Amino acid sequence: MCYAIPGKVAEISGRVATVDYFGEKRKAYIDLIEDLRIGDNVYAQGGFVIRKIGEEEAKEVLDTWRELFFKLQEQDKKLANNPQSLFERANAIRQKHQGNSCCVHGIIEFSNYCSCNCLYCGIRRDNKDLTRYRMEIPEILAAVGEAVSLGFQALVLQSGEDPYYDDDKFEAIVKEIRARHPVLLFMSIGERSIKAYQRMYNAGARGVLLRFETSNPEVYEKMKPKSPPAPIFQSGGLETRLNLIRTLRELGYLIVTGFLIGLPGQKSADVMKDIKTTASLGAEMFSFGPFVPHTATPLANTPTTDLSKMLKIIARTRIMNPEAKILVTTALETLYGLDGASEALMAGANSLMINVTPKKYRRLYDIYPKRFGSEMETMEHIEKVINLLQSLGRAPTDLNVQT
Ligand code: SAH
């Protein structure tokens, strides 16, 4: 199974290739691939060519996709026709600007140790009841290999802020993964130094998932106490985090960022500012989700956000950002299931993540309870997502590359 359609390199100009997908032309950076030529068949993800494949393999995949590709596009167009309501308008904008492509990234949560003490988060340092785990490099590599064999082309490596993994370890992890697998790698490891991120970039990582959590500095201060962290972490306030995200973008990373909805003290105006802040950070993907209370945190009794409010925020985000990739977060799926995900996809969203953490650890990555997918076999999860996408006329691809 594949989560992307291969294209053919039609043109190369400097660092950028033009890739042709059934007649649709997209641009992608070529610096992750050696020796690329016009006529090569390639996979691209997030605006990077990540893999070259042979003519035979390309033909096989394209033969299965050719008919379905146009059928799905038709279905998507039909569903986006004649928009009236807020959600329908958002969906029509998504359809017009982003087409039916839907990013499906895999996420591997490799450690639940965390030196931060965020009030909302179940893996916070002070949650002494949680069984902690961390995966060694060979185990991480095995998990990546498993995900790649299932067809994932873009993977997020996520953890708490765990000092066990120093800069050398991270560089080694990225280097090894890139040497073995043609995947687009996103790091989601919190506030490391610019130097550490530069080394991971040089080793082949190209994305960062780092939410700013809230653009309201007072709420941020309350939610993320400046507990004494290990010296390798920067531990400033909101501005430090925002500046780190800005610098990472300047380094060339694709940025996935966003915020939590429903934090105590957060106002509606804050959410509008959160959307604008995400855009101003140049996010290639917006990642915002409902806060879900966890009993082992100080926010155990804080209520969560209802689905209709979430959908309205997604729709507004889409209307304000026609070109964005907007993620249906696991938190939304946890609260509202795949039906909720389906509604989100029909209100402007166009990306999903699938948890590919080894199953024995999934429940322990307990940022909030009963996370969607943690009890499901990965294959079952993939099938459910693919069926959902296809019922809506979406293709699990990453065609909308940007330069
Ligand atoms: N250490 C990494 C990863 C943190 S966990 C980092 O700092 O980026 C990933 C995300 O989970 C957080 O950014 C936060 O937005 C989200 N999260 C944590 N607790 C949550 C909760 N109770 N409900 C919903 N989302 C939560």
Q: What is the pLDDT of residues 67-76, one digit of tens each?
A: 888 899 999 9
> For 175-206, what is each residue's pLDDT tens digit?
999 999 989 999 999 999 999 999 999 999 99
Atom of ligand 1 nearest to the CA of 114: 1
Question: 260 in ligand 1 pocket by Cβ < 6 Å?
Answer: yes
How many other CB atoms sit within 10 Å of the CB of residue 84?
8
Question: 161 in ligand 1 pocket by Cβ < 6 Å?
Answer: yes
Please report the pLDDT score of residue 1 as a whole number.
Answer: 34
Pairing mode, if any, of strands 48-53 and 41-45?
A: antiparallel
Which of 129-138, 229-238, 253-262, 371-380 has the least mean pLDDT?
A: 229-238
Give the mean pLDDT of the chain: 92
Please report the pLDDT score of residue 228 as a whole number.
Answer: 60
Distance (Å) from CA 367 to ligand 1 centroid: 6
Distance (Å) from CA 17 to ligand 1 centroid: 35
- Would you state the torsion angle of the CA atoms of residues 112, 116, 119, 124, taken in this order, to the nearest 10 degrees? 30
Q: Are 80 and 92 in contact (CB under 8 A)?
A: yes
Question: 367 in ligand 1 pocket by Cβ < 6 Å?
Answer: yes
Question: 40 in ligand 1 pocket by Cβ < 6 Å?
Answer: no
Question: 211 in ligand 1 pocket by Cβ < 6 Å?
Answer: yes
Please report the pLDDT score of residue 132 as a whole number.
Answer: 98
Distance (Å) from CA 121 to ligand 1 centroid: 6
Atom of ligand 1 nearest to the CA of 191: 7
Which of 108-112, 286-290, 369-373 has the least mean pLDDT?
A: 369-373
Would the pLDDT of 110 be above 70?
yes
Q: Whose CA is nearest to atom 19 of ligand 1?
A: 121
Would the pLDDT of 2 be above 60?
no
Distance (Å) from CA 96 to ligand 1 centroid: 32
Six token digits for residue 70 = 């146009």
Average pLDDT over residues 360-368: 97
Average pLDDT over residues 366-383: 93
Question: In percent, how much of the chain has pLDDT > 90?
Answer: 82
Distance (Å) from CA 8 to ligand 1 centroid: 38
Average pLDDT over residues 52-76: 89
Please report the pLDDT score of residue 233 as a whole number.
Answer: 59
Distance (Å) from CA 368 to ligand 1 centroid: 9
Q: Are 24 and 399 in contact (CB under 8 A)?
A: yes
How many other CB atoms sit within 10 Å of the CB of residue 163?
13
Task: Produce one character per residue of 227-239: b if its CB has 16 or more CB atoms within 10 Å, e if not.
Answer: eebeeebebeebe
Length of the chain: 403
Please report the pLDDT score of residue 230 as a whole number.
Answer: 53
Average pLDDT over residues 46-61: 90
d(CA 76, CA 346): 10
Residues with Cβ within 8 Å of 367's Cβ and at least 6 positions away in sequence, in order, are: 121, 122, 123, 294
